[in-house]
Amino acid sequence: MSEAVVETQALTKKYGEFVALDQLSISLQRGQILGFIGPNGAGKTTAIKILVGLARPTAGQARIAGVDCVREARKIKHLVGYMPDRFGSYDNMRVREYLDFFGAAFKIPWQRRRQRIDQVLETTGSTYMADRFVETLSHGMQQRIGIARTLLHDPEVLILDEPANGLDPQARIEMRELLLHLAAMGKTLIVTSHILPELSRICDRVAILTHGRLRASGTMDEIMTQVRQKRLIEVQLPNHAQFQQASQTLAQALGDHAAVVPSEAEAILRFETDRPDDDLGRVLALLVSSGIRVSQFRAVVSDLEDAFLNVTRSEADAA
Amino acid sequence: MPTHPIVQREFIGTMRCHRAAATVIVAAMVFSALVLLGWPSDAQVDLSGAPAQKVFRLFGYGLLGALLLLTPAFPATSIVREKQRGTLILLLNSPLRSGSIYFGKLIGSLGLVVLLLLTSLPAAAACYAMGGISLDGELLPLYAILLLVAVQYTSWALLVSTYAQSTDAALRYAYGGVLLMAVVSLGPHYFLQGTGGWKAPAAEHLRCVSPITAVMELVGHSGVGSKGLLVAGDVFWRFVSYSMLATGLFAGLTLLRLNHRLFDRAHSQGLITDERHWLIRTLRRMVFVVDPQRRKLTIAPLVNPVMVKEFRCRRFGRMHWMIRLAAFSAMASLGLTYVASLGSMDWGPETIGGLMVLLQGALIVLLTPALAAGLISTELESGGWQLLQMTPLSATRILIGKLASVVWPLLLILVSTLPGYVVMVYIEPSMWLQIRQVLISLVLTGVFSIALSLACSSLFSRTATATASAYAVLAVFCGGTMLVWLLRDAPFGHGTVVTALTMNPIAAGLAVIRTPGFEQYQLIPASWWFAACASMICMTLVIFRTHRLTRPQ
C-alpha cells in the first residue's frame, strides 16, 4: 500500500460555540479521487480551507505530502492547487494574461511559463480560449480555466470545490473525463459536489459529512455496507390481478405486514430486509407455490444518492 | 404611487437597511448642529436679521453639499445592479412598461432624498423663527433648488447606470458628472468674467448650470469671486430652466435605453491584432502607440506580478489610456502656459499657476479613488482575494504591487504637467521656489488620496461602497474646505478658513503660487504635516487590514 498523500487526524474547527468540523480523520493515497459530500453547512469547505492553509484548525492535524498544513502553510501553496467554488474573474484580462499572472505569482520562470500555459490549456482542452476575455467565458469554460490555473505550478494535490456546479450535461461529461485524466496523470484529487451520480462515477473514495462530522467514508462498496444494512427487494407482478393476494402472501412470508410497501400502479411490492439470499429464495418459492405469477424478483442496486439520503435521514431521525 | 412595486422595493427596501436609517438620523443631527452653531448667544435681539442670515447660509450650503454627496449614490447603482443580478430582464419581461420602471426607480431613489429634506424642515423652521428670512424670497426658493438638484442628479445617475457595466464604474461616472455640473462649471466664469466677446457671456450661462451659483445668489453671496464686477441677476431662473432641461434630457435618454436592447451585446471574442489582416495591423500600428489588442508578453522577472495584473485588468489602467491621459495633461499644461506667455489677457503667472494646480489637483482627486478604491474590495467581491492567498505572494508584496499600480499612473500625470511649470520658471525664474513647494503639495495630495482610497478599499467588501466612501471623504477634504473658503467673509472668520484649508493640500498649492483669493493664507508646512500624518494613519490601517485579510482564519 502506498503512502497517504492527504491525511487528517481528529481535525476540529470551532467558531465560538459552533462546531464547524468535528474530529475529521481521513486519508487519501496518490492518484486517488476523494469525493467530499454533505449538505450545505456540513463542514466540507471548512475542511478544504484547513487543507489549503486558508484556515487554522482548533485542534487536530492535517498533512499533505508530509507537510503540515498549519505550520508550513507556505509550502502547502506549492503542493496544492485549489479551485474555490467562485471563479475569481478579473475584468479586461485575456485567458493567457490571467494564467500568466498566476504563473508569475507562483514564480514559474518566464522562459518556461509560456510553455507551461500552453500545456495546461491543452490538458484542459482550452487552447482555443487563450485570447478570449476571462469575464466573457461561459460557466463551463471558466471551470476549465479554473482547473488550468490550479495545474500551472504542477501541484501534487488538486482540491476542487464544486467543479461540476452549474454545468450542462455535455460539460459535466467533459469535466468528468478531465478529472479522470488528471488522476491518471498521478494527481491526487479532492472533489466536492452536490451532483452525486457524477461523483460516484469518478471517485475512488467517498467521505460523507453532516454537521461537521464524518458519517461514512471509504470506497463506494464500503460506504454502501456502512450506511445500508438492509437491502431493498422488488417483486414485479405481470398485472394487478393477483396484487392483493401477493401482498398478503409476502407479508405472511416475512412475518411483518408493515414491511411490505405496495405500489399498485406499478404492480410492484417492495420490502427492506437483512435476510440472506437463501431465505429470499424461500420467499420467492412460497409466492410461486401459492400460484402467484412473478415476472421479476430483484434486489435494487443502491447508489451514492441513496447512501447520502440514508445518512442524512438517520441523522434527522436521531435529532 | 406607494403601491408601485418598484417604488416599494427601491424606497421601502432601502429604508429597511440600517445604513439608510443611520444616514437620515445623522443628517437630521447635522442640520440641527448647523442651526445650533449659528444660533445667537446674545441676550439682545438683533433686528437686522443678520444672525438668521448667517444660520441660513450655513444651512443652505450644508443641505446642498449633503444632497450633492448623497443623491447619486443609490440611483447610480440601481439599474446596473439589476443588470448584474439578472433582475432587470425579469422586470422588462413583466407587464410593467419602461416608463413605469423608470419612474418607479426615479421616485424610489428620490424617496430617501426627500426624506432627508423633510428632516431638515425643523431646522429650516428654526431659521425662519429667528426672523430676517423671508418664506417666499429665500426659504421656499432654497427648497425648490434643492428639489431640482435631487431630481436632476437622480436622473443623471440613472442614465449613467444604464451605460455602466459595473457598480463602481457607475459611481465613478455619476460623481464625475456631478463634479462637472456643480463645481467645474463655475471655473470658466471665474477666469473669463469681464473679458470681451462671446466667451464671458457663455461662461456666465455655464455658471448657472451649477446649483452652487443659485444658492450663492439666494444667500446673498452672488458677489463672491466676482472680482467686483456686476453679475447677472436672474441666476435662479436660469438655473431652474437649465436644471429642468437637463432632467428632461437625461430622463428621455434613459427611457430610450431602458429596453431589451440593453442586453443585446455580443460577448467579445477576444480579437488579437497579431492575427488580423495586414492592413488592419498597419492601421492599428498607426493609431495606437501601445495597441491594447496586441498579444502581451509574459510578465518579466523582478516585476511585481500584482502590479502588472492591476494594469492589465482595468480599462483605464491600460497603457494606451495612460499615454492618452499623459498627452492630454501635457497639452493642457503647455496650453495654459502659452496663454500666459502671450499676455493677451490679464492672467498673471499666479492665475495660470493656480489653474494648473487646480487641473492637476482635480485629475488626482478624480482619478485616484477610481484607481485605488477597488484595489482590495474588488478582490474581496470577486473572490480573487482567496486566489491571491493561495499563491506564495506575501501580503507586503501584494500591497506593494497594488500601490505601484496607482502610483505610476499618477506620477505619469504629474510629470506630464511639468512642462508648463518649466516654461513658467523660464519666463519668471523667481517662481522656482514656489513651484517646488507646489509640486510637494501636489505629491502630498496624491499620497493622501491614494492612502485614503486604499483605506476605504480595505474597509469595505463592496467596491461601490468603497469608491463612494473614498469620493465622499475626498470631496469633504478638497471640496468642502473650498466651500468654507468661499464663505470666508461671512460667516467664517480668517482662523476657521485657515484651519479648513490646512486640511486641503490642493489649497496649499494654490496659496503657495499666490492664486487670487489665496494670497493671504500661509498654509505650509501645516498643510504638509496634516497630509503626511493623515496618509500615515490611513496606510497603517491598510497594512493592518491587509495582514488580517491575508492570514488564515
What does the pLDDT look like over B462-484, one tens digit per residue?
777 788 788 888 888 887 788 77
Predicted local confidence at residue B464, as pLDDT: 74
Predicted local confidence at residue A314, as pLDDT: 67
Burial of B417 (0-12, 13-18, 19+ CB in 10 A): buried
Determine the distance in angstroms separating the CA of B296 from the nearest CA of chain A, rounded to an integer. 7
Are residue A256 and residue A137 in the same domain, yes or no?
no
Q: Decide if A176 is inside a domain.
A: yes
Predicted local confidence at residue B290, as pLDDT: 66
Confidence of residue B224 (pLDDT cuts 50, 70, 90): low
Q: Please provide the DSSP assignment of B359-371 as one string.
A: HHHHHHHHHHHHH
What is the rounded CA–CA span in Å between residue A126 and residue A133? 13
Using a CB-CB distance cutoff of 8 angstroms, which residues of chain B are in contact with residue A97?
A: 296, 312
User: Minimal Cα distance from A71: which residue of B?
Assistant: B552
Choose between B199 and B51: higher pLDDT.
Answer: B199
In a mutational test of the A interface, the residue from B172, B322, B387 whose CB has the highest number of chain A CBs within 10 Å is B387
Are residue B366 and residue B467 in the same domain, yes or no?
yes
Tally the C-alpha atoms within 13 A of residue B281's C-alpha that lie toward its C-beta. 9
Q: Decide if A315 is inside a domain.
A: no
Predicted local confidence at residue B295, as pLDDT: 72
Nearest to A74 among B166, B272, B392 (CB): B392
Predicted local confidence at residue B384, as pLDDT: 85
* Neighbour tally for B395: CB within 10 Å: 17
Q: What cell does A145 get?
A: 480555466
**DSSP three-state, residue A60:** strand
Q: Which residues contact A237 (CB under 8 A, 6 or more apart)?
A: A243, A246, A267, A268, A269, A292, A293, A294, A295
Predicted local confidence at residue B233, as pLDDT: 65
pLDDT in tens, A234-244: 889 988 888 88
Q: Does A243 touch chain B (CB under 8 A)?
A: no
Choose between A84 and B20: higher pLDDT.
Answer: A84
Q: Decide if B43 is inside a domain.
A: no
Nearest to B298 among A107, A114, A136 (CB): A114
Residue A84 to residue B269, Cβ atoms within 8 A: no
Crossing angle of helices A220-227 and A304-318, rounded to 10°: 30
Q: In what order do the strands lie in the sheet with A296-299?
A: A260-263, A268-273, A231-236, A296-299
Are residue A111 and residue A42 in the same domain, yes or no?
yes
Predicted local confidence at residue B489, as pLDDT: 66
Under a CB-based contact definition with an 8 Å cutoff, are residues B130 and B52 in contact? Answer: yes
How many domains is chain B built from? 3
User: Minimal Cα distance from B309: which residue of A?
Assistant: A101
Match 428632461 to its residue by C-alpha cell: B248
> Picking from A147-161, B57-71, B140-154, which range would have the lowest pLDDT averaged per residue?
B57-71
What is the rounded CA–CA span in Å between residue B59 and residue B32? 9
Residue B553 to residue A91, Cβ atoms within 8 A: no
Nearest to A91 among B270, B298, B313 (CB): B313
Q: Decide if B345 is inside a domain.
A: yes
Predicted local confidence at residue A201, as pLDDT: 78
What is the rounded CA–CA span in Å between residue A304 and residue A302? 7
Are residue B402 and residue B540 in the same domain, yes or no?
yes
CA trace torsion A41, A45, A49, A54 (10° rounding):
-70
pLDDT in tens, A264-305: 888 898 888 878 888 888 888 988 998 889 999 888 776 777
Which secondary-structure segment (H or E) carries A65?
none
* Neighbour tally for A239: CB within 10 Å: 9
Residue B299 to residue A149, Cβ atoms within 8 A: no
Q: Decide if A132 is inside a domain.
A: yes
Does the structure show a pLDDT above 80 at B499?
yes
Are residue B210 and residue B149 in the same domain, yes or no?
yes
Using a CB-CB distance cutoff of 8 angstroms, which residues of chain B are in contact with residue A106?
A: 391-392
First to last CA, chain B: 48
Choose between B332 and B410: higher pLDDT.
Answer: B410
Does the structure show a pLDDT above 90 at A84?
no
Whether the ipTM is more than 0.90: the answer is no
**DSSP three-state, residue B94:** coil
Predicted local confidence at residue B223, as pLDDT: 59
Taking CA A18 as the corner, what is the angle to CA A14 and CA A23, rounded to the nearest 5 degrees? 50
Residue A88 to residue B382, Cβ atoms within 8 A: yes
Using a CB-CB distance cutoff of 8 angstroms, which residues of chain A are in contact with residue B383?
A: 84, 86-88
Residue A88 to residue B387, Cβ atoms within 8 A: yes
What is the rounded CA–CA span in Å between residue A64 and residue A62? 7
Q: Decide if B129 is inside a domain.
A: yes
Predicted local confidence at residue B25, as pLDDT: 80
Domain end call among B263, B287, B322: B263
| DSSP 8-state code for residue A301 | P
> Picking from A162-166, A174-178, A248-252, B205-209, which range would have the lowest pLDDT averaged per residue?
A162-166
Choose between B456 and B317: higher pLDDT.
Answer: B456
| Residue among B102, B520, A53 at smallest CA distance from A63 | A53
Determine the distance in angstroms separating the CA of A176 from the nearest CA of chain B, rounded to an integer. 23
Are residue B293 and residue B194 in the same domain, yes or no?
no
Confidence of residue B218 (pLDDT cuts 50, 70, 90): confident
Choose between A316 and B500: higher pLDDT.
Answer: B500
What is the rounded CA–CA span in Å between residue B250 and residue B20? 26
Predicted local confidence at residue B69, as pLDDT: 79
Q: Decide if B93 is inside a domain.
A: yes
What is the count of residue pairs from A and B with beta carbons less than 8 Å apart? 109
**Residues forming beta bridges with residue A208, ordered by sequence position:** A37, A216
Q: Decide if A148 is inside a domain.
A: yes
Are residue A292 and residue A170 in the same domain, yes or no?
no
Using a CB-CB distance cutoff of 8 angstroms, which residues of chain B are in contact with residue A92?
A: 312-315, 318
> Picking from A2-11, B9-18, B181-190, which range would have the lowest pLDDT averaged per residue?
B9-18
| Residue among B146, B80, B84, B78 at smallest CA distance from B108 | B78
Q: What cell does B283 get?
A: 492601421
Residue A105 to residue B391, Cβ atoms within 8 A: yes
Residue B552 to residue A78, Cβ atoms within 8 A: no
pLDDT in tens, B518-544: 888 888 889 999 999 999 999 999 999
Q: Decide if B44 is inside a domain.
A: no
Which secondary-structure segment (H or E) carries B103?
helix B98-129
Parent domain of A273: 231-301
Predicted local confidence at residue B253, as pLDDT: 93
| Residue among B77, A142, B81, A282 at smallest CA distance from B91 | B81
pLDDT in tens, B38-50: 666 665 655 566 6
Residue B390 to residue A133, Cβ atoms within 8 A: no
Average pLDDT over residues B425-429: 79
pLDDT in tens, B172-204: 788 888 888 888 888 777 767 767 777 778 888
Are residue A243 and residue A181 in the same domain, yes or no?
no
> At A258, which CATH number?
3.30.70.100
pLDDT in tens, A176-192: 888 888 888 888 999 88
Which secondary-structure segment (H or E) carries B343?
none
Tally the C-alpha atoms within 13 A of residue B283's C-alpha that lie toward its C-beta. 5
Are residue B401 and residue B351 in the same domain, yes or no?
yes
| Residue among A52, A48, A3 at smallest CA distance from A24 | A48
Q: Which residues contact A47 (CB under 8 A, 6 or more apart)?
A: A8, A11, A21, A24, A36, A209
Q: Decide if B42 is inside a domain.
A: no
What is the rounded CA–CA span in Å between residue B384 and residue A66? 28
* Residue ranges of A 134-163 with Cβ closer than 8 A to chain B: 136, 149
Using a CB-CB distance cutoff of 8 angstroms, which residues of chain B are in contact with residue A104?
A: 298-299, 303, 305, 308
Q: What cell does B70 get?
A: 448623497
Burial of B258 (0-12, 13-18, 19+ CB in 10 A): buried
Predicted local confidence at residue B252, as pLDDT: 93
* Residue ranges of A 176-215 with Cβ closer than 8 A to chain B: none
Q: Does A128 touch chain B (CB under 8 A)?
A: no
Average pLDDT over residues B158-170: 84
Burial of B168 (0-12, 13-18, 19+ CB in 10 A): buried
Are residue B149 and residue B283 in the same domain, yes or no?
no
Using a CB-CB distance cutoff of 8 angstroms, which residues of chain A are in contact with residue B388?
A: 105
Are residue B257 and residue B342 in the same domain, yes or no?
no
* Neighbour tally for B396: CB within 10 Å: 12
Using a CB-CB distance cutoff of 8 angstroms, which residues of chain A are in contact with residue B269?
A: 132, 136
Are residue B238 and residue B339 in the same domain, yes or no?
no
Q: Decide if A309 is inside a domain.
A: no
Q: Over chain A, what is the mean pLDDT?
A: 84
| Residue among A130, A202, A139, A162 at smallest CA distance from A44 | A162
Are residue A206 and residue A267 in the same domain, yes or no?
no
Choose between B102 and B367: higher pLDDT.
Answer: B102
Under a CB-based contact definition with an 8 Å cutoff, are residues A270 and A247 in contact? Answer: no
User: Minimal Cα distance from B385: which residue of A?
Assistant: A88
In a mutational test of the A interface, the residue from B168, B296, B298, B386 whose CB has the highest number of chain A CBs within 10 Å is B298
Helix, strand counts (H, E) of chain B:
27, 0
What is the rounded CA–CA span in Å between residue A16 and residue A58? 10
Are residue A200 and residue A271 in the same domain, yes or no?
no
Q: What cell does B422 get?
A: 518649466
Residue A101 to residue B309, Cβ atoms within 8 A: yes
Average pLDDT over residues A229-256: 84
What is the rounded CA–CA span in Å between residue A9 and residue A27? 9
Does the structure show a pLDDT above 70 at B60?
yes
Which secondary-structure segment (H or E) carries A166?
none
Predicted local confidence at residue B451, as pLDDT: 94
What is the rounded CA–CA span in Å between residue B220 and residue A198? 75
Domain end call among A170, A195, A226: A226
Q: Decide if B423 is inside a domain.
A: yes
Are residue A145 and residue A81 in the same domain, yes or no?
yes
User: Minimal Cα distance from A82: which residue of B?
Assistant: B390
Under a CB-based contact definition with an 8 Å cutoff, are residues B332 and B359 in contact? Answer: yes
| DSSP 8-state code for residue B9 | I
| DSSP 8-state code for residue B299 | P
User: Minimal Cα distance from A80: which residue of B?
Assistant: B390
Are residue B394 and residue B258 in the same domain, yes or no?
no
Under a CB-based contact definition with an 8 Å cutoff, are residues B511 and B425 in contact? Answer: no
In this structure, chain B runs to a length of: 553
Q: Does A87 touch chain B (CB under 8 A)?
A: yes
Q: Decide if A207 is inside a domain.
A: yes
**DSSP three-state, residue A296:** strand
Residue B296 to residue A107, Cβ atoms within 8 A: no
Are residue B148 and residue B166 in the same domain, yes or no?
yes
Residue B387 to residue A149, Cβ atoms within 8 A: yes
Nearest to A104 among B305, B313, B388 (CB): B305
pLDDT in tens, B91-111: 888 888 888 888 888 888 888
pLDDT in tens, A40-74: 888 888 888 888 888 888 998 889 888 888 888 88
Are residue B321 and residue B187 in the same domain, yes or no?
no
Residue A101 to residue B308, Cβ atoms within 8 A: yes
Using a CB-CB distance cutoff of 8 angstroms, which residues of chain B are in contact with residue A95?
A: 270
Predicted local confidence at residue B550, as pLDDT: 83
Q: Which residues of B264-284 are buried (b: 16+ CB within 10 A; e: fewer)?
A: eeeeeebebbeeeeeeebeee
Predicted local confidence at residue B41, as pLDDT: 62
Taking CA B487 as the corner, what is the angle to CA B483 and CA B493, rounded to the nearest 5 degrees? 120
Are residue A191 and residue A173 in the same domain, yes or no?
yes
Q: Does A268 touch chain B (CB under 8 A)?
A: no
Q: Does A115 touch chain B (CB under 8 A)?
A: no
Are residue B211 and residue B107 in the same domain, yes or no?
yes
In order of A129, B26, B109, B445, B457, the CA distances from B19 in angstroms are 43, 10, 15, 30, 18
Residue B389 to residue A54, Cβ atoms within 8 A: yes
Are residue A217 and residue A237 in the same domain, yes or no?
no
Are residue A154 and residue A285 in the same domain, yes or no?
no
Does the structure show a pLDDT above 60 at B229?
no
Residue A84 to residue B387, Cβ atoms within 8 A: yes
> Picking from B264-268, B322-326, B398-402, B434-438, which range would have the lowest pLDDT averaged per residue?
B264-268
What is the rounded CA–CA span in Å between residue B491 and residue A123? 72
How many domains is chain A built from? 2
> At A28, which CATH number?
3.40.50.300
Under a CB-based contact definition with an 8 Å cutoff, are residues A45 and A81 in contact? Answer: no
Break chain B down into helix, strand, coil percent, rounded to 5: 75, 0, 25
Q: Decide if B545 is inside a domain.
A: yes
Residue A49 to residue B389, Cβ atoms within 8 A: no
pLDDT in tens, A123-167: 888 888 888 888 888 888 888 898 889 888 888 899 988 887 777
Residue B313 to residue A53, Cβ atoms within 8 A: no
Taking CA B364 as the corner, what is the angle to CA B359 and CA B366, rounded to the nearest 5 degrees? 90
What is the rounded CA–CA span in Å between residue B262 and residue B269? 19
Nearest to B313 among A78, A90, A95 (CB): A90
In a mutational test of the B interface, the residue from A131, A136, A150 whose CB has the highest number of chain B CBs within 10 Å is A131
Confidence of residue B232 (pLDDT cuts 50, 70, 90): low
pLDDT in tens, A12-39: 988 888 888 888 888 888 888 898 888 8
Parent domain of B292: 271-302
Are residue A258 and residue A284 in the same domain, yes or no?
yes
Q: Decide if A312 is inside a domain.
A: no
Q: Over chain B, what is the mean pLDDT?
A: 80
Are residue A90 and residue A168 in the same domain, yes or no?
yes
Q: Does A106 touch chain B (CB under 8 A)?
A: yes
